[in-house]
Structure 1
Amino acid sequence: MIVTLTVHPSLDRTISIDATLRVGEVQTASAVREDAGGKGINVARVLRASGVDSLAVLPLDPADPFAAVLAEGDVDVRTVAVHGRTRANIAVTDPTGETTKINLPGVALSAGDLDDVIDVVAECARGAQWLVLAGSLAPGLPDDAYVRVIRAVRDRLGEATPRIAVDTSGAALRAVVADGRPDLIKPNDEELADLLGAALPVADSLADAVHLASRELVPAAIGSALVTLGGDGAVFVSDRGAWAATPPPTRVRSTVGAGDSSLAGFLLADSRGADPAAALVSAIRYGSAAAALEGTQAPKPTDLPTADIPVRALHH
């Protein structure tokens, strides 16, 4: 079982257009789709589609129409009752796969709401292999909200605590790295640079630069890092070593949720006993498959690219 927490869920509305987005002009959409989104929800959907038991925890108003969209997403959920309507995220995708996103503010959560979320997460995480804390923080939550979740789960579950992965950015990620000691983080290269407060070091390749930067954190502050690089692939760094992998040629339709699918692919392989290099390949396959699908769809095993994915070990 892999449990995810999404404190800032969204209704992902993806609008496809037949030409490059022209700001200030009127354009006609060729297609529109709606998906229940939010990073943790996306991860849980991908895992379930591949036969891995998963549970998505999220705050939700019982009267929110988002519940109906969520029910269509084929994911097991555990909700924490709050008041307010789930936000909508709007993505406009052109024929090249270039995506422009507008994220709206979501339901504001109180300190009491966070306490309720922590109670449910701790209950659901007992016996799980991984707990994934994913996405931006909802309005009203402090920057260290994920740190509080991590501490509470570890205090309550002790040796039964699952490994904890965090996929967020900005102040929330900085707080987790400073005080949460997560087992895994999943930034992209820009989020990693922001986390370190400096440009990535000069190196022969982006993967090498990311590796050098990640070594400032692994293993001193975090257990490992899965850093996604878009079309350049991904890098995994742990105390056991570091590896880089590059994706196969992909016709990109939407990048929304591709990073979430990469994380799901990594956790899926890890939960089945794969070594780090094989788990990284799985991350690449799932991220590439998601990018080739429209909207925020969860890639299935039948969607995965079958082309060879080269992996190379990285060294200091």
Structure 2
Amino acid sequence: MILTVTPNPSLDRTYEVPGLRRGAVLRAAADRVDPGGKGVNVSRAVAAAGHRTVAVLPLGGAEGALLERLLAAQGIEVAGVPVAGATRVNVAVAEPDGTLTKVNAAGPELTAEEAALLLSAVGERSAAADWVACCGSLPRGLAPEWYGRLAARAHATGARIALDTSGPALTAALRERPDVVKPNAEELAEAAGRPLATVGDVAAAAGELRARGARAVLASLGADGQLLADASGTYFGTAPVARVRSNVGAGDASLAGFLAAGGSGPRALAAALAHGAAAVRLPGSAMPSPADLDPSAVTVTTDVPRDRALTEPVP
């Protein structure tokens, strides 16, 4: 069972438009609303793959009630913590060439009591979990050390920790030795404190995160692929996509594939790549099912192309 924790979940509304013109009235060719938030997306992808998942998250207002109903309809067990503030609503505008413009709301500020209840909800369920995936930004009211406290509690019950966050929250949690962290290139550069221009730069930065406490690093590099560094070695993989429809939640789908495939080694990396590639071919933040995957398009190697320049280097 994979337990996900999303401290700042959302409803994600996506509009597909012919083109984005500032100041104009746009007519959407299609629109959809999906449960949102990194951990929520991981649960959705895990459930789509036929595995059991429990989503722990704060829920507030009519938006929170709708989020819970949407998740239940997808076969996801929800462990909701009632909060006074309303669950946020994010808006994305998708153009035909794959360009995505997003407006993310701040979300509610949690009280100290609500933060404690959220931590307790994770502790009560982590003993039954193979993995606890801690995902996304922390809402107002939660200190950067909150993920670290959560990791310590979950590790004490025997669960493994996957961490997908950034900034001070990532740095503070490294001392609790998360079993895998999943930064994108920008987040990895921030954690390393320097630019990343090549795959070799990514590999070096991943090694530094491991030295600082992460047992494994799964780095998402967008169209350039993904890199995995763990105790068994360093692996690099790609899964080319001819046309990107929406990249919302693609990293979350990758993490779900990685964890569902065991969470270590090249086989799990291949699953992560297949799930991420499938996600970007789908509308909005739709999560892929097994029928959407194309494992034949995935390539994984130990021969890491360290001199390969990143398509979008991080300054």
State the Cα distance separating 1:51 from its structure 2 match: 1.3
CA-to-aligned-CA distance 1:253-295 (integer Å, 9 cap, x gap):
1100000000001111116xxx611111110100011100001
* Alignment correspondent of 2:310: none
Alpha-carbon distance in 2 for matches of 1:113, 1:147? 17
Residue 227 (str. 1) matches residue 216 (str. 2): no
* Alignment correspondent of 2:178: 182
Alpha-carbon distance in 2 for matches of 1:57, 1:126? 14
Alpha-carbon distance in 2 for matches of 1:73, 1:48? 7
Aligned partner of 2:41: which letter? N
* Alignment correspondent of 2:191: 195
* Alignment correspondent of 1:80: 81
1:261 aligned to which of 253, 272, 290: 253
Alpha-carbon distance in 1 for matches of 2:9, 2:134? 12
1:298 aligned to which of 265, 287, 293: 287
CA-to-aligned-CA distance 1:127-161 (integer Å, 9 cap, x gap):
3111010011111111111112122333xxx3x32
Alpha-carbon distance in 1 for matches of 2:22, 2:225? 30
* Alignment correspondent of 2:232: 240
Matches within 5 A, 1:204-223: 206-223=198-215
Query: Which secondary structure state, in structure 2, belongs to the residue aligned with residue 226 of structure 1?
Result: strand
State the Cα distance separating 1:314 from its structure 2 match: 4.6
Q: Does the CA-based 8 Å contact 1:36-1:73 persist in structure 2?
A: no
Alpha-carbon distance in 2 for matches of 1:308, 1:165? 26
Alpha-carbon distance in 1 for matches of 2:230, 2:212? 11
Aligned partner of 2:294: which letter? P
Residue 54 (str. 1) matches residue 43 (str. 2): no
State the Cα distance separating 1:193 from its structure 2 match: 0.2
Q: Does the CA-based 8 Å contact 2:154-2:161 persist in structure 1?
A: no
1:285 aligned to which of 268, 274, 277: 274
Aligned residues, how many?
303
Matches within 5 A, 1:143-182: 143-154=144-155, 158=156, 160-177=157-174, 179-182=175-178
Alpha-carbon distance in 1 for matches of 2:121, 2:65? 22
Q: Does the CA-based 8 Å contact 1:44-1:54 persist in structure 2?
A: yes
State the Cα distance separating 1:112 from its structure 2 match: 1.3
Aligned partner of 1:168: which letter? T
State the Cα distance separating 1:180 from its structure 2 match: 2.6
What runs of 5+ residues in structure 2 fail to find an aligned partner? 307-315
* Alignment correspondent of 2:112: 111
Percent identical pairs in the alignment equals 42
Residue 312 (str. 1) matches residue 311 (str. 2): no
Q: Does the CA-based 8 Å contact 2:130-2:160 persist in structure 1?
A: yes
Runs of 4+ in structure 1 deviating by more than 6 angstroms, as ranges, are none
* Alignment correspondent of 2:30: 31
Per the normalisation by structure 2, the TM-score is 0.91
Alpha-carbon distance in 1 for matches of 2:25, 2:108? 31
Q: Does the CA-based 8 Å contact 1:248-1:307 persist in structure 2?
A: no
| Cα distance change, pair 314–223 in 1 and its aligned pair in 2 (3 A) | farther
Alpha-carbon distance in 2 for matches of 1:23, 1:305? 37
Residue 12 (str. 1) matches residue 12 (str. 2): yes
Per the normalisation by structure 1, the TM-score is 0.91
Alpha-carbon distance in 2 for matches of 1:170, 1:294? 29
| Cα distance change, pair 111–24 in 1 and its aligned pair in 2 (3 A) | same
Q: Does the CA-based 8 Å contact 1:232-1:246 persist in structure 2?
A: yes
* Alignment correspondent of 2:44: 45
Aligned partner of 2:230: which letter? S
